Amino acid sequence: MLEFIRDLFLMDGQGKYVWFVLLIFFIVICFNYYLPYRAIRKIKEENSQHTGE
Amino acid sequence: MNPLRKQRLYVVLSIFLGTAIAVLLVFQGLSKSINLFYSPSEILKAQIEAGTEIRVGGMVKKGSVYRETNSLKLSFEITDFEEDLVIEYEGILPDLFSEEAGVVLKGTINSKGVFVAHEVLAKHDENYMPPEVAKTLKQKK
Amino acid sequence: MGSPPFFFKWASRLLPWFSPISFSILIIGLIWGVGFAPSDYKQGDVYRIIFVHVPSAILGQSIYLMMAIFGSICLIWRAKLAGMFLRSAAPLGASFTLIALISGAVWGKPTWGTWWVWDARLTSTLILFFLYVGIIGLYSSIDNKQKGDRAASLISVVGVIIVPIIKKSVDWWQTLHQPSTFSITSSPSMTSDMYFPLLICVIGFYFIFVSLLCNRLRVEILTRERNTTWVKEYLNNKV
């Protein structure tokens, strides 16, 4: 099992390219998930302030 | 469809067709210069001046790769199955460089008609397969 | 379907289911491709970048195609939701195209020997990315929503010619980039134990796009319809 994980990580020296691409991919996807989430929260906050006054 | 929308539809269609035709015409005109590289026969036909930097591409001929023993210098021939071109290069080769595989080279032609490359790029084909499959395919050949 | 409140209601109801499903498909495809698919006889393991590169390139192009279709709808029928689609989809198209460009460069370094060449495929993909950036820029510089929608629609209709050019560039011109491995019309030039995970990744990417898009559309609808009674009711009940 450990052997398998190590091979998967190193990939004969090519692992750095593959994992770098995956990292970039997940950063971009998570960013795109987070932005609308933040925007909706902001809209709701503004609304509650508005009605609170 | 009401007349206003119909009119807008025609406008959108003509905008699309107009740009499509214009762009395709431009590309038709530029077609040659969009190519990344020339083939060996194009280069031999065109009589390119010695010293002009160009890109040439083709397949590395089987059995033509000759490496010098104590330096990074090597020579090989590339072919487009019509003409061959002798290449000289000194430096590190990409992993995918091998005989009977595509390469794209950047460099100049010298007075002896030898192409002196200073950049070697390996071209990859669209075929992907596991090593075992490649082995059996080779045996079948 | 075309009415924003109706769409908003359904998107909000379906997303909690749809997003996890999309993520699962994507993760299954990637784990299969990166961890378990066989390595390539020539490239070894670095070919595994294909499981990110090809789906994101496909998405980058098909999102632009969708934007051209919705752009035409926006110009001809003045449908509200079509304009919102353009605005929400453009950043996603840009993201996927950017991922395709970066992953391609990272793959190109060890296999070709270079990060970048100005060949027809790479250059036309870069133009696609700039088209997306242009549309995003238009929206942020035009305050009037309707005018912004129309300008963006126009650019998507005018620019859509880049999509067949990208697709055909490897056949029309001499390029460093290889012809397509993955296509709907012809049989794939890879074995099935590589092709299936790739197929799952492509499907997963489409699902992820739809869920990301619906998330963005919800925000867009809420902001644009801020002063309508249904949005006020929604916000006051839900907070």
Question: pLDDT grade, residue A36 (50/70/90)?
Answer: very high
C135/C68 Cα distance (integer angstroms): 12
> Is B5 in CB contact (< 8 Å) with chain C?
yes
Note whether B9 and B17 are within 8 A (CB): no
* Percent residues over pLDDT 70 in chain A: 94
pLDDT beyond 80 at B119: yes
Q: Do B121 and C38 count as a contact with CB atoms less than 8 A apart?
A: no
Question: pLDDT grade, residue C233 (50/70/90)?
Answer: confident
User: Which residue ranges make up each domain of chain C?
Assistant: 22-35+48-177+192-238
User: Which residue ranges make up each domain of chain A?
Assistant: 2-52
Task: Give the mean pLDDT of B115-136.
Answer: 85
Which of A42-46, C15-19, C133-137, C216-220 comes out lowest in average pLDDT? A42-46
Q: What CATH number belongs to B40-122?
A: 2.40.50.140
Exposed / middle / buried, residue C189 (Cβ in 10 Å: 0-12, 13-18, 19+): middle
Q: Do A47 and C46 count as a contact with CB atoms less than 8 A apart?
A: no
pLDDT beyond 90 at C197: yes
C160/C167 Cα distance (integer angstroms): 12
Question: pLDDT grade, residue C184 (50/70/90)?
Answer: low
A32/A11 Cα distance (integer angstroms): 29
For C47-97, how does the pLDDT look when each residue is reduced to its tens digit (9 = 90+)? Answer: 999 999 999 999 999 999 999 999 999 999 988 899 999 999 999 999 999
pLDDT at C238: 62
pLDDT beyond 60 at C239: no
Q: Which of C129, C87, C97, C58 has its CA nearest to residue C213?
A: C87
> Is C30 in CB contact (< 8 Å) with chain A?
yes
pLDDT at B140: 66
User: Which residue ranges make up each domain of chain B?
Assistant: 1-34, 40-122
pLDDT beyond 60 at C1: no
Question: pLDDT grade, residue C115 (50/70/90)?
Answer: very high
**Residue B118 dihedral angles phi and psi, to the nearest 5°:** -120, 0
Residues 6+ apart with CB under 8 A from C154: B15, C71, C75
Q: What is the CA radius of gyration of chain A?
A: 21
pLDDT beyond 80 at B133: no
For B56-90, how does the pLDDT look when each residue is reduced to its tens digit (9 = 90+)? Answer: 999 998 888 888 888 888 999 998 888 889 999 99
Name the residue of chain B whose CA is nearest to C157's CA.
Answer: B16
pLDDT at A37: 92
pLDDT at A33: 93
B99/A22 Cα distance (integer angstroms): 32
pLDDT beyond 90 at B93: no
pLDDT at B137: 74
The rounded mean pLDDT for chain C is 91
ipTM: 0.89
Residues of C in contact with B100 (CB under 8 A): none
Mutation choice for C interface testing from B9, B43, B124, B125 by most C CBs within 10 A = B124
For B33-42, how does the pLDDT look when each residue is reduced to its tens digit (9 = 90+)? Answer: 788 888 888 8
Length of chain C, please?
239
pLDDT beyond 60 at C164: yes
For B7-51, how does the pLDDT look when each residue is reduced to its tens digit (9 = 90+)? Answer: 899 999 999 999 999 988 888 888 777 888 888 888 888 877 777
pLDDT beyond 70 at A39: yes
Note whether C106 and A17 are within 8 A (CB): yes
Of B11, B34, B122, the CB nearest to C112: B122
